[in-house]
Amino acid sequence: MLRTPRPSPVTLSLLALLTTLLVTSALARPTHVLLVLDASGSMYLRLEDGQYRIAAAKDALAQVVSRLPDDPDLDVGLRVYGARLNATEPDACLDSELVVPIEGFDREPLLRSIEAIEARGATPIAYSLELALEDLRGYTGRAVIVLVTDGAESCGGDVRAAVAGLGEAGLEVDVRIIGFALSEHAIRSFEGLGTFECANSAGELAAALGRAVGVDPDATYPVTVTLTRAGEPVGEGASVHFVDAVDGGERQLTAGADGVFITRLPAGTYRAEVTDAHGATSISVRGLPVTPGDDNAFAFELAPAAEVELVVEPTDPTAGDTVRVRFDGAPAGRGNWLTVVPRDAPDHASFARASVEDVRGVAEVRIPAEQAELEARFHLALPGGGTGVIGRSASFVPQPLTASLAAPAEVAAGTRFEVAWEGPAADGDYVTIVREGTREGMREGDWAAVADGSPVDLLAPPEPGSYEVRYVLRAEHRALVRQPLTVGPADARIGAPAEVAGGGTIEVAWEGPGNPGDYVTIVPRGARDGAFHGTSAAPTEGGSPLTLAAPAEPGDYEVRYVLGQGRRMLVSVPLIVTAAEAGLEVPAEVEAGAAFEVAWVGPDNDGDYLTIVPRGARDGMRHDTSAAHTRDGSPVLLLAPPEPGEHEIRYVLGDGRALLLSVPITVSPTTASIVAPTEVAAGASFEVAWTGPANRGDYLTIVPSGARDGAFHMTSSAQTRDGTRVSLTAPDQAGDYEIRYVLGHGRLKLLSVPIEVR
């Protein structure tokens, strides 16, 4: 009987944390759980125990789903990213699919969906979390998002912003991030986000296993297995073992009457191993769910002595190729499949699969890109669930993949350089630069697809040090060849003044690579890489020198040359921003709708302006009907809004609308008035007397009652410059109307009186 290595501490930690989280949540109160699974290409890398990461993650998730209670207050959904598109395809960073909606808890479809997942593409974590917010929108009660990943964000998304967005949306969301086999870089990227756990030692594993893994950790449920051959019970010469798919624990079933084997097991996902002394093969059946209850009954038909004949073509493929597998003598039916795996791999192992339904035919299967003795296997779908191997091909050893690189031995930080390459040029293969010693599967620096031809251009990282240029086989995320590269100090300089007043401008001279997308910016001193002051940045394509606008807030800043690729700082110099000299002379009170003067002093940068806004309004808010540019000189004329209340006059820096200075002002109710008849005949002319600010462009008009601001009756309006008594003409259609005094600047209503047109 086959024995497999015990799962890694990472897999067991994943199961313990997930089960504790989900079961506890489900039983406490109405809970909506969304599982988010990483199915990126790196999930086909192996763990220390030889198991593929995607298989370990699927086993752990299936185990958790099997152990969940049938609780009406529990909703469980599944979102998967990276499963449909290869990482180099155009929309790979949008590859995130809600496979199972968050609508109740239907165990069997969820288990089938987990089993069907295959790893392919990129790692769009932030995008998936943004979609998760939409998945959960509208639910009440507690929401739990469990993200399972083996790497950091690879699509440039802001995972921290995505997690923060979940909280800002008003949802009660518990975000759990569970990593396994993570690099130090990936671990740092998740620190401080929700609840994060990554097991890498026996101590961490022991702590994780010490937590509860179910509603009742001692509960077991009856399990029966019926063995038959040609429809007849088999009770002698056979044995049945159930192996826990996650922790490797094994339980032998006791033989009873009529080919029925019995035992009791905790809820979970298992693999059955059936040995038959009278048969030519043993059966290994994976993916068997044991759930709370008494209906865990399985039936296995022992395979006949004859095996399916398998032939692999060609007999000498190159590692990672797609081969043809001819099969003959297979039982017809859905659910059968072929795979090619190392000869010493356990029967339940699979790499890429090809589904087959016919008795004979040819299937195409991708083989592992490793130098090992391989064989094709035919998996027969069994009546009790899972599959068993009933055919094997002759073993073969693929030809090794070869590749070569030609790159300079040393380059300056932040500069572009050429790399000539030779290799298999398989779909998705790429050349990349990473720090020396970076584990397989990581793509932390610049990269270029080999589909672009040879040579390719790469951008050196901003930090000097020892690196490697790698040719990477996309199918396995494995480097076929590496070449060391020394990145020397950056050949870049910045010349800028040491001090500037807040809101002022500085001229910055620079020398550097001038790559497309590079820019110079001002940020707070010590800000993280990627920090960006949108109002104080200029692309290097504008040449040297560049003009930058300083932030309004005094403090310690720095001027940085930033690489567009990765937004990494190449060089910086310090800059002190001092308090700007600015002042405003503002009346304490003005009447609504009245024009008034404001005297000012300030930096007078291009685009600076003064405006009046409600007191405490957010930065950047601008009263479009009452603003004046400082280029018009001092004083400027502003118009009070028609709504009384507490307002403020602001001096705003035009580049980015940062507030430099504000002074409070009270807008008092208007003393304007309108005297008009309460009713008038349709089409008749009538007189209206008024008092008001009489600003330039102010006018009176008649409009339907409740019309929006700016509504205008072309045939019946009069300018206030025509005097305090004007003539209006009633509309031809009867109804309820109003006569309005309208401010010409902005066409805002200052006051109105009703009038009926008969």
Amino acid at 433: I
Q: How far apart are CA 110 and CA 64, in angstroms?
A: 11
DSSP track, 191-206: TTSSEEEE--SHHHHH
The amino acid at residue 536 is S
What's the pLDDT at 216?
Answer: 54
- Mean pLDDT is highest, among 90-94, 673-677, 704-708, for 673-677
- CA-closest candidate to residue 216, choices 176, 266, 170: 266
Cβ(114)–Cβ(78) below 8 Å: yes
Res 419 pLDDT > 60: yes
344 near 361, Cβ under 8 Å?
Answer: no
User: What pLDDT is attached to residue 528?
Assistant: 86
Q: What is the pTM of this model?
A: 0.44
3-state secondary structure of 720: helix
Q: What share of the chain is helix, strand, coil (3-state, %, to 5)?
A: 15, 45, 45
Going by pLDDT thresholds of 50, 70 and 90, the confidence category of residue 512 is confident
Tens of pLDDT along 92-113?
A: 999 999 999 998 888 888 888 9
pLDDT at 442 over 50: yes
The pLDDT tens digits for 187-242 are 888 888 877 877 543 233 223 222 322 335 567 899 999 988 878 888 666 789 99
Residue 574: per-residue pLDDT: 96
Which domains occur in the chain, in start order? 9-209 (3.40.50.410), 221-301 (2.60.40.1120), 309-392 (2.60.40), 404-486 (2.60.40.1930), 493-578 (2.60.40.10), 583-668 (2.60.40.10), 673-757 (2.60.40.10)
For 375, the 3-state DSSP assignment is strand
Q: What confidence tens digit (pLDDT) does each residue in 549-601 have?
A: 888 888 999 999 988 877 888 889 999 999 888 899 999 999 988 889 999 99
Give the tens place of pLDDT for each residue, 165-192.
Answer: 887 777 778 888 877 777 888 888 888 8
Structure tokens at 151: 């790497």
CA 149-152-154 angle, 5° bins? 115
pLDDT of residue 16 exceeding 80: no
Q: What is the reported pLDDT for 29?
A: 64
Q: What is the C-alpha radius of gyration for the chain, rounded to an integer number of angstroms?
A: 36
As a whole number, the mean pLDDT across the chain is: 84
Q: Which residue has the higher pLDDT, 36 or 27?
A: 36
Residue carrying structure tokens 């009489």:
694
**Residue 420's pLDDT band (boundaries 50, 70, 90)?**
very high
Query: In this structure, are residues 150 and 179 in contact, taking their beta carbons and an 8 Å threshold?
Result: yes
What letter would DSSP give residue 335? T
